Amino acid sequence: MSHCNHCQFKRNRKIVLVGNPNVGKSSVFNMLSDEYAEVSNYQGTTVTVAIAQIHIGTLIDTPGIYSLTGDSQIDEITKKHLNEADFIINVVNAVTLDRDLILTNQLLHIYHNKMILVINQIDEAEKRGIDINYDELSKRLVVEVVKAVAIDRIGKREIFQAIMNGSCLHHCNTSDVTVLLDRHITVKYTVSKIDKFLLNPIFGWVTVAFVLYAIFKILGDVIAGNIVDNFVSIIDKFYIPIVSRFAFNVLGNNFWTEILVGEFGIFTMSVKMIFGILMPMIIGFYIIMSLLEDSGYIPRIAVLTSRFFNFLGLNGDAIIPILLGFGCGALGTISCRILRTGKERVIVTALIGIAVPCAAQQCIIISLLAATNDVSVWGMYIATMLIVTILSGKILSSFIKGNGSDFFIMDIPPLRIPSIANGYRKTKNRAKNFLKESAPILVISSGVITILHKFGILNWLQSILSPIVKSLLHLPQEFADVFIMGIIRRDLAAVGVFDMSQKFLTTGAQILTAAIVISLFVPCINAIIVILKERGWKMALTLWLSTFVISISVGAVLTRICEGVLCA
Amino acid sequence: MIKSVIDLQPGKNAKILEFANAKVADVFESMGLFVGQMVQVIYKSGTVVISVNHRMIAMSRVLAERIYVSL
């Protein structure tokens, strides 16, 4: 291979990873940088760029694209980075090579003198009997080809070597890629029995119901019912008395002691909320999500739900941002970028803001409902959330101008046994981010609430909100605190409800109303900032006000219905 | 006989003859679906699932109706 000045090693070069969705670009990024960008087994995992400084330059992981001619938001982000790239690593999947080489062909026409081709997941291709002639492929495409199994860190040294060598082969006009593939790659494929079952319109839905039930049982009974209870009782029995005694001995009984270890204290309430309640539930939730994401089950749910989303003027693509919204509303809103039309992006952003509770909320809600031991409470909760989602979707799709997309097309990735290492890194990363985001706000909130309580402002706010809380929602006056917390963060409000449920929420009707109001309550500050950036201030303001009105109205109607039903 | 892929019975193989128009051809070709490939319908419900070579692709009925195949 000849070398030229153009490709000489530069330490400050911009190296861009590009490829089709779900080929393993983030895995290659993680392998080369020793950092962690989220890896999952479905297209659309990466919606923003990840950047890492490595010893030979700046490595940039871009969202997956199918072609250089696409004009979606995702395509534009990737193309912008391609135009600024000093070097391009085109990642393709050995299993879907026929599809992936179309983009390679386009890239080679423009960037042939600064690009290498990384064929990832060669192990899976071998297992499937896919035979690839790598040397011939390299010769015909006139590009350096590197084999890799990025998830197992195979191919790292070879990729660095290829980048250092540069790709200075003279480009030839590549003929039709499909002809090339016919000659050099043989593929066989049969649909597995498990896929036939999971995609079947009847058995597929039975499986979804079973998976949801299993998630509710694990989060409600195992984590909330056992682990959280034990953590909270350990904190109550051992930690709080020790830290309170210590603070009183050192500081005496004054205002600062109350801020630190009082009823709403930073070292008492915050620690209990974060480490006793939220973290065990969040970690449990993220482990389950990671298993679902890495197994490839989520695209199969997208196929099953596509018809339901058609009814709302959307299609199966919508499931990805909505599922991510179940983790965090802000993340779900950003991932609306994968949707094809502006109308779809607005509808899904609104649905996430209105009817998709975040991970922390769900965990608390599941544990609240599980504690009632009443199937009718579960039924009414699910029915109410479904009705609100359908009505909101229908109203939005009727009133928002523009076309929805009926061009739903999605690759179904192969089912895989989730990698324990990736699951661990992903859960650790998400839990760390959650702690980083939530802990400071919870600590500040504890201090603010103590001050509001101390100066009687909390009681004053409670009395102002009393008509809504007591008269409309038939909830105890203390629920007003939850509103105040919910404006700051939804998870904070959810923990408030959890804490309150043990003292003030005595009936099934009250628990159900509280769960619904919290589920539908206003998006938290983080989510609103993201909506503001992605969709503009009008949408952010409208959504905030609408969710406030919807949560109170639905709560007020529901409380009257369920008082009748549950008391009857 | 030329029909759309949606007319195939699940499990039956057929060859793609053409796409309805240039716009859908762009959508399909960007996903690696070309004239001349063999396809098999796996399911056709609200969404149609087909297998092409070693891959499974799900698509809306609207799109599936625009792939013409030889029966």
ipTM: 0.92
Q: Which of A362, A367, A368, A387 is nearest to A511 (CA)?
A: A368
Domains of chain A: total: 2
Regarding whether A214 and A174 lie in a shared domain, the answer is: no
What is the phi/psi pair of residue B55, to 5°? -115, 160
Q: What is the pLDDT of residue A212?
A: 86
Regarding whether A179 and A214 lie in a shared domain, the answer is: no
Q: Which residues contact A21 (CB under 8 A, 6 or more apart)?
A: A43, A44, A45, A63, A64, A65, A66, A411
Chain A nearest CA to B1, separation (Å): 26
Regarding whether A164 and A227 lie in a shared domain, the answer is: no
Written as six digits, the tokens of A477 are 């006056």
CB contact under 8 A, B56 and A407: no
Q: What is the pLDDT of residue A293?
A: 87
CB contact under 8 A, B54 and A188: yes
Q: Which of A305, A291, A270, A192 is nearest to A438 (CA)?
A: A270
Closest-CA residue of B relative to A314 is B60
Closest-CA residue of A relative to B65 is A407
A510, A556 in Cβ contact below 8 A? no
CA–CA distances in Å: residue A134 to residues A118, A142, A143, A175, A437: 11, 12, 11, 17, 46
Chain A nearest CA to B21, separation (Å): 14
Q: Is B65 in CB contact (< 8 Å) with chain A? A: no
Minimal Cβ distance to B46: which of A66, A178, A310: A310
A 85-104: CB under 8 A from B = 95-96, 98-100, 102
**pLDDT over 80 (residue B71):** no
State the Cα torsion A154-A158-A162-A165 to the nearest 10°: 160
Q: Is A208 in CB contact (< 8 Å) with chain B? A: no
Written as six digits, the tokens of A383 are 């029915």
Chain B nearest CA to A535, separation (Å): 26
Cβ neighbours of B31 in A, within 8 Å:
66, 99, 409, 411
Q: What is the pLDDT of residue A3?
A: 43
pLDDT tens digit at each of 568 positions of chain A: 344 444 445 567 899 999 998 898 989 999 998 877 776 666 666 667 888 888 888 999 998 888 887 767 778 888 889 998 999 999 999 988 878 888 898 898 888 778 999 999 999 888 888 888 888 888 888 889 999 999 888 999 999 988 887 654 444 444 445 445 544 444 444 567 888 888 888 899 999 999 988 888 888 778 877 888 888 889 999 999 999 999 999 988 888 898 899 878 889 888 888 888 888 888 988 899 889 988 989 889 888 888 888 888 887 788 888 888 887 888 888 888 878 788 899 999 999 999 998 887 888 888 888 878 788 888 899 999 999 999 999 999 888 887 766 778 888 888 888 989 889 998 999 899 888 887 888 888 888 888 888 888 888 888 888 888 888 888 888 788 888 777 777 777 877 787 777 777 677 788 889 899 989 988 888 788 889 988 999 999 999 999 999 999 999 999 988 877 655 5
| Burial of A342: CB neighbours in 10 Å, binned 0-12, 13-18, 19+ | middle
Chain A nearest CA to B63, separation (Å): 6
Best residue of B15, B16, B53, B67 to probe chain A, by most A CBs closer than 10 Å: B53
A156, A32 in Cβ contact below 8 A? yes
Q: What is the pLDDT of residue B65?
A: 92
The amino acid present at A304, given as its one-letter code, is L
CB contact under 8 A, A409 and B42: no
Q: Tell me how far apart the alpha carbons of residues B3 and A554 are, in angstroms, rounded to a whole number.
A: 49
Chain A nearest CA to B30, separation (Å): 6
A 167-186: CB under 8 A from B = 178
Minimal Cβ distance to A98: which of B45, B46, B53: B53
A493, A449 in Cβ contact below 8 A? no
HEC letters along A179-231: HHHHHHEECCCCCCHHHHHHCCCCHHHHHHHHHHHHHHHHHHHHHHHHHHHHH
CB contact under 8 A, B57 and A409: yes
The amino acid present at B58, given as its one-letter code, is A
Written as six digits, the tokens of A156 are 């790292």
**pLDDT over 80 (residue B14):** yes
CB contact under 8 A, A303 and B49: yes
For residue A8, count other CB atoms closer than 10 A to its CB. 11
Regarding whether A292 and A232 lie in a shared domain, the answer is: yes
Q: Tell me how far apart the alpha carbons of residues A262 and A256 are, in angstroms, rounded to a whole number.
A: 9
Chain A nearest CA to B7, separation (Å): 18
Q: Is B48 in CB contact (< 8 Å) with chain A? A: no
A513, A474 in Cβ contact below 8 A? yes
CA–CA distances in Å: residue A502 to residues A114, A223, A296, A376, B30: 63, 17, 39, 20, 56
Q: Is A410 in CB contact (< 8 Å) with chain B? A: yes
CATH of the domain at A122: 3.40.50.300
Domain B2-70 has CATH 2.30.30.90: yes
Minimal Cβ distance to A409: which of B40, B46, B63: B63
CB contact under 8 A, A102 and B30: yes
Please compute the mean of the pLDDT values over residues B36-59 and round it to a whole number. Answer: 85
Q: Which of A59, A26, A60, A61 is nearest to A42 (CA)?
A: A26
CB contact under 8 A, A191 and B56: yes
Q: Is B60 in CB contact (< 8 Å) with chain A? A: yes
Q: Tell me how far apart the alpha carbons of residues A561 and A296 are, in angstroms, rounded to a whole number.
A: 40
Q: Is A128 in CB contact (< 8 Å) with chain B? A: yes
Minimal Cβ distance to A407: which of B27, B40, B51: B27
Expressed in percent and rounded to 5, the helix, strand and coil fractions of chain B are 25, 45, 30
Cβ neighbours of A410 in B, within 8 Å:
57-59
What does A386-430 look like in DSSP terms, one character per residue? HHHHHHHHHHHHHHS-S------EEEEPPP-PPPHHHHHHHHHHH
Which residue segment(s) compose the domain that A212 sits in?
203-404+422-567
CA–CA distances in Å: residue A169 to residues A143, A144, A157, B46: 7, 8, 21, 48
Regarding whether A239 and A180 lie in a shared domain, the answer is: no
Q: Tell me how far apart the alpha carbons of residues A262 and A267 are, in angstroms, rounded to a whole number.
A: 8
User: 3-state DSSP call for residue B49?
Assistant: strand
Q: What is the pLDDT of residue A11?
A: 62
| Number of Cβ pairs < 8 A linking chain A and chain B | 99
The amino acid present at B38, given as its one-letter code, is M
Is the residue at A410 inside a domain?
A: no
Best residue of B26, B34, B49, B57 to probe chain A, by most A CBs closer than 10 Å: B49
Minimal Cβ distance to B31: which of A95, A99, A307: A99
Minimal Cβ distance to A411: which of B36, B55, B62: B55
Chain A nearest CA to B13, separation (Å): 12
Chain B nearest CA to A106, separation (Å): 11
Regarding whether A494 and A399 lie in a shared domain, the answer is: yes
Regarding whether A351 and A395 lie in a shared domain, the answer is: yes
Query: Could you state, in order of their start, the residue ranges of all structural domains in chain B?
Result: 2-70
Q: Please state whether beta strands B2-4 and B67-70 pair in parallel, antiparallel, or not at all (unpaired).
A: antiparallel
CA–CA distances in Å: residue B31 to residues A243, A329, A409, A462, B8: 60, 29, 8, 57, 21
Regarding whether A221 and A177 lie in a shared domain, the answer is: no
Regarding whether A524 and A436 lie in a shared domain, the answer is: yes
Q: What is the pLDDT of residue A46?
A: 67
- Widest distance between CA atoms in chain A: 85
Regarding whether A210 and A180 lie in a shared domain, the answer is: no
Written as six digits, the tokens of A337 are 């970028």
User: Taking CA A402 as the corner, what is the angle to CA A401 and CA A404, rounded to the nearest 5 degrees?
Assistant: 120
Is the residue at A372 inside a domain?
A: yes
Cβ neighbours of B60 in A, within 8 Å:
306, 310, 315-316, 406-409
Q: Residue A6 carries which DSSP code?
A: G
User: Taking CA A168 as the corner, what is the angle to CA A163 and CA A171, rounded to the nearest 5 degrees?
Assistant: 125
Regarding whether A151 and A54 lie in a shared domain, the answer is: yes
Regarding whether A230 and A173 lie in a shared domain, the answer is: no
| Burial of A486: CB neighbours in 10 Å, binned 0-12, 13-18, 19+ | buried
Written as six digits, the tokens of A377 are 């409470």
Is the residue at A416 inside a domain?
A: no
Q: Please state whether beta strands B38-44 and B13-19 pair in parallel, antiparallel, or not at all (unpaired).
A: antiparallel
